[in-house]
Structure 1
Amino acid sequence: MLEPVRPGEGWGVLHLFLRIDHAAVPTLPPGAAKDFAGVLERWAERTQLHVFSALGHKADVMLMAVDADLSLLRALQTDVQASQAAPAVKLTWSYLSLTEGSEYTQTPEEYREYLAGEGVEGDDLQRRVDQFAERMAKYTDDKLHPRMPAWELACFYPMSHRRWGEDNWYSLDFPERRRLMHDHGRSGRAYTGRVLQLVSGSTGLDEWEWGVTLFAHDLADIKDIVYTMRYDEASARYAEFGDFVIGIRRSPADLVAEVGLERTT
């Protein structure tokens, strides 16, 4: 076994996008579809693996794996490409990122100053600061070490902050960036319970600066949240987006049937 390769902070997030070469499917050996499904089933026991059948021409299969050990993500990629179905299952795109906390969250010290300014003092002040610190610690841990739910739909897209002229995100001072992200987050919180997002950082790791994965029960909620948040200044002035891929969660056995591999068995 290779030595684990773990980031100093956060977990690795690997998205793999696969396309089925249907002309090659008849040439696969008997049992190839079952072998491919078995690879996914075994990896779902070893790491946090989410399996989706993708809609549209960009991919037939979308896999999302989250793990503290990058070497396991690499091994998963190898096994997916080395299955008996490999001649008909082509890796056409991938995306690598790391889970991360937010630099814009309020610190306990800032919250203490805010409460003191509101006239809170003494034991009540300390109690409320301690409760806030506990909430923020859990919030950060959930972002760094996410356990994503088995919701029916997923949407993945990459994004970056714009760096054009007066619309240069990186020329803004910290308080202004924090204000914009606070407003942006407030729009997203209106979809609590309907859309859950994982935003992972990819600056220096992939073509864009972030990978965004949205989980939902209803496709209309994905459409609505993206539309709504486009009006936030943080998006309207400072955001660029890559391609969007929509996936329907499937078991490995159902996946191979839906994408046209199972007929080889």
Structure 2
Amino acid sequence: MTAPAAAPQRPAAPAAAAEPTYVAPALTLEGWYSHHQLFTVDRAALRALSVDYRRAAGEAMRGAIARLVSPADGGWTAAVQLVGAPADLMLIHMRPSLDGLGAAGRAVLTEPLGDVLRRTYDFLSVTEAGMYSVAVKAAKETAARGGTVGDAEYNARLAELLESERASAHVQKRLFPPAPGEAMPYVCFYPMSKKREAEQNWYALSLEERSRLMWDHGKTGRRYAGKVFQIVTGSVGFAAWEWGVTLFAADPLEFKRIVTEMRFDEVSAKYASFGDFYVGRVVSPSEWVASVLGQ
């Protein structure tokens, strides 16, 4: 006996459309160019100089650094004495243009006392504010109207959102940070990158996921408002590392606290790689030169 043919099955209902994801570069806004210069002092070369030469060279160097601290064309320079690092001294330059930044970096090296300074590390970057949430907002609005990321309406809306963010006081402070003051004299600088490993590839995550992770990371940092002032600089295309982080605080223990806490954030625990840390104190031009001279 032949079994009856099976009744045709009803086609399954189409699955609900998934929320669109966008794997795209993060948008950023940029401000001042930044250069961290680190030096050791060649004590043998210093001892070979006559007392009178050292005195005159020291005076000239003090004047050069004083001019760098508050340049007429904008930006600033901070002179730092380092502690516990493979370098003795650091200069942090912020300038409106790359050419101006180059001139600032050369100003110290061309001074007579610059002959005893040995550069141990340089980090070139530019102040940066990530616009993850703005990019996600524009993309979702585009999807809701049935448009395409990159079309004319999307580009116009994105430009509008970015301009609004750039004008905010919060973003302006990130792009054009004030010079460190006496209230927060301690400084901590370190470079970092995001991982590209098989199971930990930051650049393979959707824009929405990167935005979420960075938002959570930012909440940790905001708990240190008033205790730590942070400058984030982007160095993609400028240095081997992808970002630089410069922290200022009244109490150097705040560096340990904030970095420890932030390393437990998901974005750091899974996706961050860190370079060496350099810690010290911002000093006057006279104190910086005195460190060179061993006084």
Unpaired segments ≥5 residues, structure 1: 1-7, 114-132
In 1, the alpha carbon distance for the partners of 2:218 and 2:179 equals: 19
Tell me how far 1:27 sits from its aligned partner. Answer: 2.2
Q: How many residue pairs are counted as aligned between the two chains?
A: 235
In 1, the alpha carbon distance for the partners of 2:209 and 2:179 equals: 31
SS at match of 1:186: helix
Unpaired segments ≥5 residues, structure 2: 1-28, 142-163
1:64 equivalent in alignment to 2:92: yes
**AA partner of residue 94 (structure 2):** V
In 2, the alpha carbon distance for the partners of 1:167 and 1:145 equals: 33
- Structure 2 partner of 1:218: 251
- Structure 2 partner of 1:120: none
SS at match of 1:85: helix
Contact (CA 8 Å) 2:78, 2:180: kept in 1 or not? no
**AA partner of residue 140 (structure 1):** V
Q: Deviations over 1:186-236 (max 9, x none)?
A: 111111100010011000111111011001110110110000100001000
1:142 equivalent in alignment to 2:170: no
Give me the CA root mean square deviation.
2.3
TM-score, length of structure 1 as denominator length = 0.82
In 2, the alpha carbon distance for the partners of 1:248 and 1:160 equals: 25
**Alignment partner for residue 185 of structure 1, among 218, 227, 231?**
218
State the structure with bigger RCO (CA 8 A, min sep 6), 1 or 2: 1
Structure 2 CA distance for partners of 1:134 and 1:235, relative to 1, 3 Å:
closer
Tell me how far 1:56 sits from its aligned partner. Answer: 1.9
1:11 equivalent in alignment to 2:58: no
Tell me how far 1:134 sits from its aligned partner. Answer: 7.6
Structure 2 CA distance for partners of 1:105 and 1:37, relative to 1, 3 Å:
farther
**Alignment partner for residue 90 of structure 1, among 118, 140, 154?**
118
TM-score, length of structure 2 as denominator length = 0.74
1:41 equivalent in alignment to 2:69: no
Contact (CA 8 Å) 2:45, 2:116: kept in 1 or not? yes
Percent of paired sites with the same residue: 40
Contact (CA 8 Å) 1:16, 1:64: kept in 2 or not? yes
Tell me how far 1:105 sits from its aligned partner. Answer: 3.7
In 2, the alpha carbon distance for the partners of 1:74 and 1:134 equals: 29
In 1, the alpha carbon distance for the partners of 2:44 and 2:92 equals: 26
In 1, the alpha carbon distance for the partners of 2:203 and 2:128 equals: 19
Tell me how far 1:142 sits from its aligned partner. Answer: 1.9
1:131-210 matches, cutoff 5 A = 137-150=168-181, 151-210=184-243
Larger-gyration structure (1/2): 2
